[in-house]
Amino acid sequence: MKRKITLKQIARELDVSISTVSKALSNSKEISEDTTQKIQAFAKLYNYKPNNIALSLKNRKTKTIGILIPEIVHHFFSTVIRGIELIANRRGYNVIVGLSNESFTKEIINMEMLATGSIDGFILSISKETLLKQDYHHFNATIDQGMPIVMFDRVVSEVECDKVIVDDFNGAVKAVKKLIDNGCKNIGLITTMDYVSVGRLRTQGYLEALQSNCVEANSNLILKIDDSLDVENHLEILENEMGQFFKMNGNIDGIFAVNELYAVTAMKVARKLGLSIPDDIQVIGFTDGVLSKHATPSLTTVSQHGQKMGEQAANLLIDRLEALDAEGDQYFTNNERKSDFIKMVIETEIIERESTK
Amino acid sequence: MKRKITLKQIARELDVSISTVSKALSNSKEISEDTTQKIQAFAKLYNYKPNNIALSLKNRKTKTIGILIPEIVHHFFSTVIRGIELIANRRGYNVIVGLSNESFTKEIINMEMLATGSIDGFILSISKETLLKQDYHHFNATIDQGMPIVMFDRVVSEVECDKVIVDDFNGAVKAVKKLIDNGCKNIGLITTMDYVSVGRLRTQGYLEALQSNCVEANSNLILKIDDSLDVENHLEILENEMGQFFKMNGNIDGIFAVNELYAVTAMKVARKLGLSIPDDIQVIGFTDGVLSKHATPSLTTVSQHGQKMGEQAANLLIDRLEALDAEGDQYFTNNERKSDFIKMVIETEIIERESTK
């Protein structure tokens, strides 16, 4: 068996970044012709096959789905995986999980590792760094080579594939409307920086709900957390930021937070400041995880139905794999890009608990 | 490329179970000679190579660690993975995660899938069903073929390999001793069935702490939960069982629970019965996850240091892989079983919060 060369090794040998190698091999315009030629020549010399994915697809079915998620210590992603597993097992597939750790380079390395022979297709959610860079060449290269991808939750329009998303925008609208209906006059938003699409969409939903109910938006009432820091280990920073936020906005009587950790932390900080929940401040979070259920008071949340997302994503991918099987070589001979992609929107639901009136 | 046959396909063709195939291929005495011959002949015919693991080890380094865990919606396992990743990244390795879903058969299938070419070695925690069956042939077969395994948390003496465990016994002793020192006279134990080793060891620690402090054990004060049911989705059953337990034992003034979900649920049930924590009942859990931190009152727990376990496991595995590299063919020529295995015990620590005085 010949020793196979990897993107990482090529990058090291030629003293360029892994993403440069990855882009050059997929003929990205971003890389100079000179560099592209050099990298492609080297890859050829060492027998690197950018298209061995398609070969492996033609020649064998691994009956394995590769899941690629940004992080593992995250209840939402866990429940999505549970949903994928449920359907995969039922339909005779195995699953294997890779982690990008929110890193662009690790996402590329993991995709390469999984794609070359181990799996039939991907179900994935994009890393924060990739979203920030807006560089999606590795997804498109994988699809071009004939390996199907289903994206969930963190998706982008720049990649054409099946997608399963939660209705973040309307989920946020529902949550904020509920606070307005419950009598809140000054509703604060605790959200992430805008480059994470879910944070952006939920922020837009917040603004939309205010506007359509003739409440003027006030930028002082919006707290954007830099979630590039590992919140679990920097709880104090988060608590301090929220403490300042509450002190600067003494009139806040409602909070919509874009995840449950922010919501539960906001409740804790508010209580420390002598505020009572839900009497002084009503709180609604997003994501229905263990924290929401077991918090005191228990948290009213917008449920994302993670397991259902996983189930739908698995069904979409397996449907497509079986369709490819049925078509056989046709798909690769024509090498035309499919364009019948499905975007499945999972409706959100408000789960009422004790943090709202 | 030849289509590779899998254990599952052999099992289906010959109408036997996957574990029968797996055992027959590793010459287990449990399988009749007749069946073993039939299976081995079939495997040979279809070119199934039980020893292609060793071949792949000799011929290439994937620089990837395979992690096999029982379930993913579990904060402890997530933190272990985080620890493994941290060290793996630092030492130039990638990780890939397989899930057994607490199933013996899935554990075998996943090990086969990962072992044949994708990874250099395993870090794993044994599934409940495997522990219940006490059937460890697949681990031993993998090790015999030259692929190193490091086990963590749920380990067994029947498999000789490097192990990282938490000091469950002494962790429990510490916790119960703390309750006794804090004045508790009737300490209840909420634990799992005995076949899960960690539950058994923590139960033994509870009994030891009582005995060495001259407190008589009372079987009425021990509640064993059947954790084969998916507790997350059967919270009511759990709450009912605990409600009965508290009602039948009105004198309970301390609870030691072997995981944080049991502990947090016990606090909730106790509060519903009008009991105050820590004034009427003091509670200590095991595992320091998000629930412990964010519960009200926050939970005093025995921390397992999951991340540290993961870091140690990764270092043990990578050390061994590098040693194998250095030895080269020697290892496979001699084919002697190594016996210099390390059992690393991670000390527990009590994290005091509001649920104890």
H/E stretch holding B2: none
Which residues in chain A have Cβ-Cβ distances shorter than 8 Å to B1? 55-56, 59-60
Indicate if B300 and B172 belong to the same structural domain.
Answer: yes
Phi-psi region at A84: left, alpha or beta (left = phi > 0; alpha = psi -120 to 50): alpha
Q: Are A173 and A208 in contact (CB under 8 A)?
A: yes
Is residue A35 in a domain?
yes
CA distance A57 to chain B (A): 11
Indicate if A152 and A207 belong to the same structural domain.
Answer: no
**Closest chain B residue to the Cα of A65, Cα to Cα:** B98
Hey, what amino acid is at B231?
Answer: V
Question: Is the CB of A291 less than 8 angstroms away from the CB of B295?
Answer: no
Give the pLDDT band of residue B76 (cuts 50, 70, 90).
confident
Q: CA–CA distance from A249 to each of A245, A337, B218 (Å)?
A: 6, 52, 55
Indicate if B203 and B292 belong to the same structural domain.
Answer: yes
Which residues in chain B have Cβ-Cβ distances shorter than 8 Å to A59? 1, 3
Least confident span in A324-328, B245-249, B334-338: B334-338
Give the pLDDT band of residue B333 (cuts 50, 70, 90).
very low
Is residue B230 in a domain?
yes
Number of domains in chain B: 3
Question: Is the CB of A95 less than 8 angstroms away from the CB of B99?
Answer: yes
Which of the 8 DSSP states describes residue B163? Answer: E
Is residue A255 in a domain?
yes
Q: What is the ipTM of this complex?
A: 0.74
Q: What percent of chain A has pLDDT over 70?
A: 89
Q: Establish if A295 touches chain B: CB-CB under 8 angstroms.
A: yes
Which residues in chain B have Cβ-Cβ distances shorter than 8 Å to A74? 78
Q: Establish if A5 touches chain B: CB-CB under 8 angstroms.
A: no
Is residue A198 in a domain?
yes
Note the pLDDT of residue B340. 84
Q: Establish if B164 touches chain A: CB-CB under 8 angstroms.
A: no
Indicate if A140 and A228 belong to the same structural domain.
Answer: no
Note the pLDDT of residue A144. 84
**Closest chain A residue to the Cα of B79, Cα to Cα:** A73
Indicate if A262 and A299 belong to the same structural domain.
Answer: yes
Question: Is the CB of B113 less than 8 angstroms away from the CB of A96?
Answer: yes
Give the pLDDT band of residue B281 (cuts 50, 70, 90).
very high
According to DSSP, the β-strands at B300-303 and B349-351 are antiparallel
Note the pLDDT of residue B334. 43
Question: Scanning the structure block, which residue is given the tokens 């604060």?
Answer: A188
Indicate if B214 and B297 belong to the same structural domain.
Answer: yes
Residue A192 β-bridge partners: A225
d(CA B249, CA B247): 5
Q: Which residue has the higher pLDDT, B101 or B59?
A: B101
- Comparing CB atoms, the residue among B1, B3, B98 nearest residue A96 is B98
Side by side, the strands of the sheet bearing B349-351 are B222-225, B187-192, B254-257, B282-286, B300-303, B349-351
Is residue A281 in a domain?
yes
Is residue B220 in a domain?
yes
Coil/strand/helix, residue B294: helix
Q: Which residue has the higher pLDDT, B282 or A17?
A: B282
Is residue B353 in a domain?
no
H/E stretch holding B356: none
Which of the 8 DSSP states describes residue A232? Answer: G
For testing the chain B interface, which of A99, A231, A272, A288 should be mutated: the one with the most B CBs within 10 Å?
A99
Residue B128 belongs to domain with CATH number: 3.40.50.2300
Residues in chain B: 357
Q: Are B77 and B98 in contact (CB under 8 A)?
A: no
> What stretches in chain A show pLDDT beneath 50?
1-2, 51-56, 59, 329, 331-335
Note the pLDDT of residue B226. 81
Most confident stretch, A58-72, B161-175, B287-301: B161-175
Which residues in chain A have Cβ-Cβ distances shorter than 8 Å to B264? 294
Question: Is the CB of A97 less than 8 angstroms away from the CB of B99?
Answer: yes
Indicate if B76 and B190 belong to the same structural domain.
Answer: no
Average pLDDT over residues B205-232: 87
Indicate if B154 and B76 belong to the same structural domain.
Answer: yes
Q: Establish if B73 touches chain A: CB-CB under 8 angstroms.
A: yes
Note the pLDDT of residue B150. 97
Note the pLDDT of residue A23. 85
Does pTM top 0.80 for this prediction?
Answer: no
Question: Is the CB of B113 less than 8 angstroms away from the CB of A64?
Answer: yes
What are the percentages of helix, strand and coil residues in chain A, rounded to 5? 50, 15, 35
Indicate if A185 and A291 belong to the same structural domain.
Answer: yes
Give A326's contacts (C-beta < 8 A, 6+ positions apart): none
Q: Establish if B3 touches chain A: CB-CB under 8 angstroms.
A: yes
Indicate if B68 and B197 belong to the same structural domain.
Answer: no
Structural domain harbouring A325: 64-164+309-347
Question: Is the CB of A295 less than 8 angstroms away from the CB of B290?
Answer: no
For testing the chain B interface, which of A4, A113, A265 should be mutated: the one with the most B CBs within 10 Å?
A113
Interface A–B counts its CB contacts (< 8 A) at 104
Is residue B59 in a domain?
no
Following DSSP, what letter does each residue of A206-222 receive, concatenated?
HHHHHHHTT----GGGE
Which residues in chain A have Cβ-Cβ distances shorter than 8 Å to B97? 72, 96-99
Note the pLDDT of residue B295. 82
Indicate if A158 and A185 belong to the same structural domain.
Answer: no
Indicate if A286 and A187 belong to the same structural domain.
Answer: yes
CA distance B85 to chain A (A): 9
Angle at A75 between CA A70 and CA A79, to 5 degrees: 90
Average pLDDT over residues B140-151: 89
Question: Is the CB of A72 less than 8 angstroms away from the CB of B82?
Answer: yes
Which residues in chain B have Cβ-Cβ distances shorter than 8 Å to A294? 264, 268, 291, 294-295
